[in-house]
Amino acid sequence: MSDIRPADVVTIGESMVLFQPMSEGPLAYAPLFTRSLAGAESNVAIGLSRLGLSVRWISRLGADPFGDFVLATLAGEGVDVSLVERDAGYPTAVYFKEFKGYGDPNVYYYRKGSAVSQWTPGHVNLRWFDNASHLHVTGITPALGPATAETVRKAMVEARAMGLTVSFDPNLRRKLWSEEKARKTLLSLIPLCDIFMPGLEEAEFLAGPMTEEAYGAHFLTMGTGVVVLKLGEEGSIGFTPQAAVRVKPHVVKRVIDTVGAGDAFAAGFLSAWLTSAGEDDEPRLRQALERANLLGALATQYRGDWEGLPKLDEVRRLQAGARETTR
Ligand code: KDG
């Protein structure tokens, strides 16, 4: 019998310490910062854990105080971090946000030479997928270099060979790689996943201009079983070979911070999709997209990439239209 805690979902990727200025305006003049952590895959891990799923996060961190902080925070969120490696030779990565007061925040990465950037396919360990049902990866770790891209590819292949299903969010980060490399690598990973989750802009980047319905059909023919197209303020659409479902957005009054909304969406979708196997595609997609839209919207209501993620009882209350008791 395996000694590893069972996991509904395994996520693999880099998390960084995040410094957010306490004021809006150019980063060059920001004197005070709050410290948190961020990373697309650990954002999803926290989201899923808060919704009651068991989650294992696979990564590498420096043997440094920032690594201790990342590990302790994720463990505090109930995420299994027991297979995370520490590397005394390379640091935990850092990133900064800049709030301009309008639009998406700017981000500045300090992640070259980080512990995760040393990943090679030889590091992929079948224990990562032991006692687990699903793997979630994104296009951010492949953007760190050719070896990390091959690491993620191998992880997807091995996970599937061990019977896990795989979801893939392309999470295009233009600051990390050239458009040419990004397009080639991201396209090559799509046939290795069961659930592909691009935003509309990413779909266009990968496949050229098409209608939303044509994106669904196009990515399904690449071999994935489900396509989830994020439309931002317009909601989302899900496609399987049997069904296509469009769901309206969850409307919010004001947006504070958009970073992390896609990961919240992914956590919302996966939490509902993975726990409703056996149901018909149409109601299953609808339910998963409704929860995904809600989580994506809630994530924009707080500064920080995951702090605004709700617990399951809050999701149920909001979906039932219950009024919040604040005092
Ligand atoms: O999706 C949000 C992530 O982009 C953020 O949390 C940090 O992983 C990150 C990245 O590389 O940008």
Q: Which helix (H) or strand (E) holds 266?
A: helix 261-273
Question: 282 C-alpha vs ligand 1 centroid, how far in Å?
Answer: 31
Both tokens of 162, joined, read 């061990």
User: Which residue CA neighbors atom 2 of ligand 1 most closely?
Assistant: 260
Query: Could you tell me which of 265, 287, 291, 263 has the C-alpha nearest to residue 277?
Result: 287
Global pTM exceeds 0.75: yes
CA atoms within 13 A on the CB side of 108: 10
As a whole number of Å, the CA-based R_g of the chain is: 19
Is residue 111 within 8 A of residue 117, CB to CB? The reply is yes
Q: For residues 154-164, give the mean pLDDT.
A: 98
pLDDT at 255: 86
In angstroms, the first-to-last Cα distance of the chain is 49
User: Which residue CA neighbors atom 9 of ligand 1 most closely?
Assistant: 39
pLDDT at 321: 84
Note if 263 is an active site residue.
yes
Best mutation site among 42, 305, 306, 309 for ligand 1 pocket (most ligand atoms within 8 Å of CB): 305
User: Which residue CA neighbors atom 8 of ligand 1 most closely?
Assistant: 39
Question: 1 C-alpha vs ligand 1 centroid, how far in Å?
Answer: 36
Q: Which atom of ligand 1 lies at the shortest distance from residue 43's CA? A: 6
pLDDT at 116 exceeding the cut of 80 = yes
Range in 36-50, 80-94, 215-229, 254-268 the model is least confident about: 254-268
pLDDT at 1: 63
pLDDT at 325 exceeding the cut of 80 = no
Percent residues over pLDDT 90 in the chain:
89
Question: 262 C-alpha vs ligand 1 centroid, how far in Å?
Answer: 10
What are the sequence ranges of the domains in the chain? Answer: 7-312
pLDDT at 327 exceeding the cut of 80 = no
Q: Which atom of ligand 1 lies at the shortest distance from residue 262's CA? A: 1
Q: Which of 263, 280, 305, 313 is catalytic?
A: 263
Band of residue 71 on the pLDDT scale cut at 50, 70, 90: very high
Q: Phi then psi for 300, rounded to 5 degrees? A: -80, -5
Residues with CB under 6 A from ligand 1: 38-40, 43, 107, 140, 171, 173, 259-260, 262-263, 305
pLDDT at 2: 75
Q: Write the single-letter amino acid at 103.
A: G
CA atoms within 13 A on the CB side of 105: 28
Instruction: Please state, in angstroms and rounded to a whole number, the distance separating the CA atoms of residues 93 and 87.
Output: 12
pLDDT at 166: 98
Query: Could you tell me which of 304, 288, 313, 296 has the C-alpha nearest to residue 251?
Result: 296
Query: Could you tell me which of 249, 253, 203, 205 has the C-alpha nearest to residue 228?
Result: 203
pLDDT at 326 exceeding the cut of 90 = no
229: which strand partners?
237
List all residues 6 or more positions away from 126 whose beta carbon is below 8 Å from its beta carbon: 158, 162
User: Which residue CA neighbors atom 7 of ligand 1 most closely?
Assistant: 39
Both tokens of 121, joined, read 């396919």
**Segment 256-285, tens digit of pLDDT:** 888 899 999 999 999 999 999 999 999 999
| pLDDT, the chain, mean | 95
pLDDT at 242 exceeding the cut of 70 = yes
pLDDT at 143: 98
Q: For residues 203-232, give the mean pLDDT.
A: 97
Q: Which atom of ligand 1 lies at the shortest distance from residue 111's CA? A: 11
Question: 216 C-alpha vs ligand 1 centroid, how far in Å?
Answer: 25
**Overall CATH class of domain 7-312:** alpha beta
Q: Write the single-letter amino acid at 116.
A: V
Both tokens of 161, joined, read 């060979």
Angle at 142 between CA 205 and CA 4, to 5 degrees: 130
Q: DSSP states of 214-256 as a string?
A: HHHHHHHHTT-SEEEEE-GGG-EEEE-SS-EEEE-----S--S
Q: Which atom of ligand 1 lies at the shortest distance from residue 259's CA? A: 2
Question: 40 C-alpha vs ligand 1 centroid, how far in Å?
Answer: 5
User: Which residue CA neighbors atom 3 of ligand 1 most closely?
Assistant: 40
Instruction: Please state, in angstroms and rounded to a whole number, the distance separating the CA atoms of residues 97 and 95.
Output: 7
List all residues 6 or more positions away from 188 whose beta carbon is below 8 Å from its beta carbon: 153
